[in-house]
Amino acid sequence: MGISWKWLLLVIGVSTLALRALLDSNFATSTLVYVAIPFVISIALAFLTKHSEQSSWMMRYLNHMRIATIVFLATSAFLFEGFICVAMFMPIYYVFVTVGFAFAALIYGKGEDPTDTFKAYSLPVLVLIMTSEGLVPATTMDRVGTATFVSESPLSAAQLQANMARPITFDSERHWCLRLFPLPDQIAAGTLKQGDVHKLHFTYNRWFFTNTHTGEMHIKIAKVSDDHIRTEKTRNQS
């Protein structure tokens, strides 16, 4: 079971060009990238991969996922993506690669069950509906949200302000998923006076140990009163 290296290179090349075009457009964060591209890649691989008639569907699926992973990693390398983006995209990619494989499997088995035709063509219709999100204002969900957290403390306002003025440290245990994201390596916290700007400097090795990028986040102390402190993010290249 396998795919010709010429077809594999073609799929990788077309996928890279399509993603590059989308990432440089207004649809960089749309479902065209996260849903349509993996689904189309999966269908292409399913119909270009040769299988033995004796092979089970589970073996075909595992082989399909293996080839799809090669396409994913090769495309990410050509696009110079960082490991965090790759790690975040991979679960979504596998979901829609699986949907594409299911579509191809139903097409191959069409005729054995009268409902297979409906099942097969309902999958691309579902993907098409999902892909429409973010393309036009009418099908775009709100990208802005608001969250409010309320907590009571027995400490006085002066004690709370004193705690907030202490040097910032990030030494607590983090969830394994959050460990993917780099913490600031330099912090200039200053004071809690109105107008003061706190600066956090980040260093990110996009390829684990190399391709180093740096950036800063600036937090301005916008308003200070006896019982209220408001901050504003004035710069974020983190």
Q: Number of helices and strands (H, E) in the chain?
A: 7, 4
Domain segments of the chain: what residues? 5-139, 157-236
Q: How many CB atoms lie within 10 A of CB 49?
A: 19
pLDDT, position 227: 80
Q: How many CB atoms lie within 10 A of CB 199?
A: 15
pLDDT, position 165: 81
Please say whether the beta carbons of 216 and 232 come within 8 A: no
Consecutive 10-residue averages of pLDDT for the chain (238 residues): 87 96 90 94 92 81 95 94 91 96 81 65 88 85 87 89 83 86 88 90 88 92 88 91
Please name the residues in contact with 96: beta carbons below 8 A apart, sequence gap of 6 or more. 34, 35, 38, 39, 42, 127
pLDDT, position 116: 65
Please say whether the beta carbons of 182 and 204 come within 8 A: yes
